[in-house]
Amino acid sequence: MPIAQNPLSVEVVLPREDVALFRVQGYLDVDTSADFQHHLANQLHHGRRHFLLDLSSVPFMDSSGMNIILRVYQEVREMPGSVHVISPAPAVRRILDLTGVSITVPVSDSVEEALDRVGRGPAVTDAALETSAAAEDSAASQGADGGPETQAPGAV
């Protein structure tokens, strides 16, 4: 059985009954993402609606990690709930910004700031959703070559 090159450590703290704080340490990549997903799913199963992801000790995250963050975001949004990324390392923050994940999922500088955002309710994520929807609308109006999208005559 292969051993992960960069093991992941996940500590789960419950600052409130409906809030789970995940202190993640190590690489969040294809080798470790299933373990992280297991921790998130366990807290969903136990009724947590708000997920605070402290990524300050995650020096690297690939698309596997981003996909898990987006999946849990989609699941808790329907509850309604929220996901907040806390203090991502510079390389991780850059990935979140470049991919647009930081537009959809709020990024906080501290646990206290994220808890405050949770206390304010869905208005924080609604603004992010409007920004994300506007960006998607703008992208949809562009063709594959970056120019305006055109239709053939008679096309619907």
In whole angstroms, give the CA distance from residue 60 to residue 53.
Answer: 14
The 10s digit of each residue's pLDDT in 34-70 is 999 999 999 999 999 999 999 999 999 999 999 999 9
Which of 92, 101, 83, 107 lies closest to 21 in space, CA to CA? Answer: 83
Is the pTM here over 0.85, yes or no? no
What percentage of the chain reaches a pLDDT higher than 90?
67
To 5 degrees, how large is the angle CA 112–CA 114–CA 120? 105
> What is the pLDDT at residue 53?
97
The 10s digit of each residue's pLDDT in 79-108 is 889 999 999 999 999 999 999 999 999 999
Q: Within 13 Å and on the Cβ side, how many CA atoms surround 48?
A: 26
In whole angstroms, give the CA distance from residue 100 to residue 102.
Answer: 5
> Which is more confident, 149 or 95?
95
